[in-house]
Amino acid sequence: MKKEYFVQYSDQSIVNSFDFPKDNFVSITVGISEIKHDLITSLIQRMFRLPVFFVLESMILGYEKETLIENNVSFFEFSSDGAIIKVDSVEKLNLVSGLTEVLVNNGLGVFIFHGESLAEQDLIPSRQWNRPIEFKNVDIYKVNTFIEVEEVGFTIFSKSDLFNSPRKVQNYIPRSYSLDINSSDI
Q: For 43-53, what is each residue's pLDDT tens digit?
A: 999 999 999 99
CB 161 within 8 A of CB 145: no
pLDDT, tens only, 121-142: 999 998 777 778 888 899 988 9
For range 132-157, the mean pLDDT: 92
Residue 96 within a domain = yes
* CA–CA gap between residue 51 and residue 39 (Å, rounded): 18
Residue 186 within a domain = no
User: In this prediction, what percent of the chain has a pLDDT beyond 70?
Assistant: 99
pLDDT, tens only, 66-114: 999 999 999 999 888 899 999 999 999 999 999 999 999 999 989 999 9
Per-residue confidence (pLDDT) for residue 128, from 0 to 100: 75
Domain residues for the domain of 28 are: 3-181
From the number of C-beta atoms within 10 Å of its C-beta (0-12, 13-18, 19+), residue 158 rates as: buried
Please count the structural domains in the chain. 1
Per-residue confidence (pLDDT) for residue 94, from 0 to 100: 97
Residue 84 within a domain = yes
Residue 140 within a domain = yes
Q: ∠ CA 122-139-130 to the nearest 5 degrees?
A: 75
Residue 115 within a domain = yes
User: What are phi and psi for residue 45, nearest 5 degrees?
Assistant: -65, -35
Per-residue confidence (pLDDT) for residue 131, from 0 to 100: 79
